[in-house]
Structure 1
C-alpha cells in the first residue's frame, strides 16, 4: 500500500517572485488504495453517488472488497437479512368506520330541553310578578286563619294567574327528574326507548296525577265543606303546586347541567316534597279540621287524597317504563 502524503524539505535559497498561474480546476491527488477502491479511482470531490435499490436477498452496504474486517461485516449482515421473516398484515377497509362506544344522551346537549327550561323559568317569573299581591295575601294568611275574606282587598289584583302553566311546569320538572332516575337506575329501559318518549310519557302521567287529585279534592270538599272553605283550600292547593315547581326548578338545573349525583338528587327531592306536603297538611287542619275530633278525619282525609295517590303515581311510572320497554 502506497501513501499519498509526500514530505519534502524546503530549500534554503532565496525565493524568486513568480507570477501566479490561473487554476482551471481543482483535482484531488489519488489517495491510498482503500479510498481508491471505495471511490473506484475517481477523485473524491468529483464523485457522484447513485443510490441503488437492493432486494431483501442482497441487502447490505457498499463496502471495499480488499478489507477483511468489512467483508466479514458484509457476510454477517447478509446472513442476518436472510433470517428476517417479513410479515404482511392487511386491515380490511370499512367505508363506515369502526363502531365505538356511543356517547350517552344528556339533556344539556338537547336544544329542545334547554329551550323548555328557559321558557319555564321566564314564565315562572312572570306568574310570580303578575300575582304578587295574591301571593302576599296567601303568605300573610297562611298561619293566621281567617274565616271570611278581607273586604278591603281588591279582588282583581288577588287572583293567581297562569294556573295551567303552573301545573304544566311542575309536571315538566318532575318528568325530567324521573327521566334522570330511569337513566341511572334502569339503563336497560333507557337504552331501548327514545328519550323524548320517556320524557313525554312521564310528564303526561304527572299531569294526569295533578288533574285527578284536584278533581277528587273538589268532589270531597263540595260534599262535606262549605264553599268559602273550599275556595280557601283551592287557593292554597294552587300555591302548593306553584311552590313545587319553583323549588324543583333549581334542582332540575343542577341535575341537567351539573350532573348532580342521584343520591343527592333523591334526598333533596324527598325533602322538598315533604316540606310542601307538611305545609299543605297544616293548612288542611286549619281550614277543615280545627276541632279536637277532626284530627282523625284529617288523617283519613290526607292519606286518602295525598299519600295513596303518590303511591299509585309511583307504581304507574314504573309500569309505564316496563310497557315502553316491552313495546320498543
Structure 2
C-alpha cells in the first residue's frame, strides 16, 4: 500500500512538471515564480572579482622584468656606476663625447621599457581602485600593455621636444649629454618603482602609501633634472632664471599635459553606465 502511494505521488509530480514545461499554468504568477526559482533551473553564481596576483600574464611580466633587471644589472654594473658618478659631477667640455656603446644603449632602453611596464601596472591599479573596474576592453593585460604604451609615447614625445629645443639653442654635444641623463633617470625610476609594484600586487600595499612613495621618487627625479639642466646648459652663463623657464616649459608643462591626457584616456576606457 505504501509503495503504491509513493508511486502515485511520483507520477503526479512528473505530470505537474510536464504541465509546467508545456505552459499549462503560464498565466499563473505564483507557479511561474516558483518555476523560475526552482532548483531544477539553477541560479547564476556571483562572478569572482578580478585579482591581479592571480593573473598569469601579469605574473610572467613581473618575473621577466625581475630576471632582466638582475641579468642586465649584473652585466652592466660598470655602466651604471659610471653614469651615477657623472650624475652628481660637474660636466667638463672635454668629457662631452659619447662613451656608451650600442649594446650599453640597448641596455638602457630595455630599462626604459621596464619602467613603462611598471608605470602601466601602477596606473591600472590606481584606476581600478579609484575610478572604475569596468572597461571597454575585457582583457586586463591588454589594458596594462595599452597604458604602458601610453607612458612610452609620453617619454618619446617629451625627449623629442627637448632634443629639438636643445639642438637649436645649445648645440649637439650638450643635447646628447642631457638626453643621456634623461634616459638614465628614467631607467632608475623603473628600478625604484618595481618593488612598489610587487608590494601592490602580491602583498596588499595600500594605495595611499604607494602614492606617497611614488610622488617622493618623482619629485626627487624632477629636482635632479632641474639640477642637471642647470649644470649642462646654464652653469657657465649664470642664467638661473632661464633655467627655471626651461624647466617649466620642457618638464612641468609636458607632465601636466600628460596628466590631462590620462584623464581623457581613463574616461575613454571605462564603461559609462
TM superposition score category, shorter chain reference: 0.7 to 0.9
Greater RCO (CA < 8 Å, at least 6 residues apart):
2
Match in the other structure for 1:27:
none
Please report how far the alpha carbon of residue 265 of structure 1 lies from its aligned counterpart in structure 2 after TM superposition: 1.4
Match of 2:39 in 1: 93
Query: Number of aligned pairs?
Result: 240
For residue 251 of structure 1, report the CA deviation from its aligned partner.
Answer: 0.4
Residues 226 and 103 (structure 1), Cα distance of their counterparts in 2 relative to 1, 3 Å cut: same
Moved more, 120-129 or 232-241: 120-129
Structure 2: where are the runs of 5+ without partners? 6-33
What does 1:151-230 correspond to in 2, within 5 Å? 156=101, 159-187=104-132, 189-190=133-134, 193-194=137-138, 195-230=140-175
Q: Distance in 1 between matches of 2:215 and 2:134?
A: 23
Tell me if the contact between 1:202 and 1:317 (Cα under 8 Å) persists in the aligned partners: no
Name the SS of the counterpart of 2:234 in structure 1. Answer: coil
Which of 234, 238, 251 is residue 306 of structure 1 equivalent to?
251
The question of whether the paired residues in 1 share the 8 Å contact of 2:119 and 2:151 is answered with: yes
CA contact (8 A) 2:135 2:271 kept: no
Q: 1:104 aligns with which of 49, 57, 61?
A: 49
SS in structure 2 opposite 1:271?
Answer: helix
- Alpha-carbon displacement from aligned partner over 1:275-319 (angstroms, at most 9, x marks no partner): 111112111111111146421111111111111111111111121
| Structure with larger Rg | 1
Query: How far apart in 1 are the matches of 2:236 and 2:40?
Result: 79
Matched, 1:127 2:54: no
Q: How far, CA to CA, are the matches of 1:251 and 1:155 in structure 2?
A: 30
Q: Deviations over 1:79-98 (max 9, x none)?
A: xxxxxxxxxx9860355x42
* Bigger share in helix: 2
Any stretches of 5+ residues in structure 1 without a counterpart?
1-51, 56-88
1:90-111 deviation digits (Å, cap 9, x = unpaired): 860355x423432221111011
**SS of residue paired to 1:144:** coil
With over 3 angstroms needed to count, the CA separation of the structure-2 counterparts of 1:204 and 1:94, relative to structure 1, is farther
Pair 154,289 (structure 1): closer, same or farther in 2 beyond 3 Å: closer
2:232 matched residue in structure 1? 287
Does 1:118 pair with 2:71?
no
Show the counterpart of 1:13. none
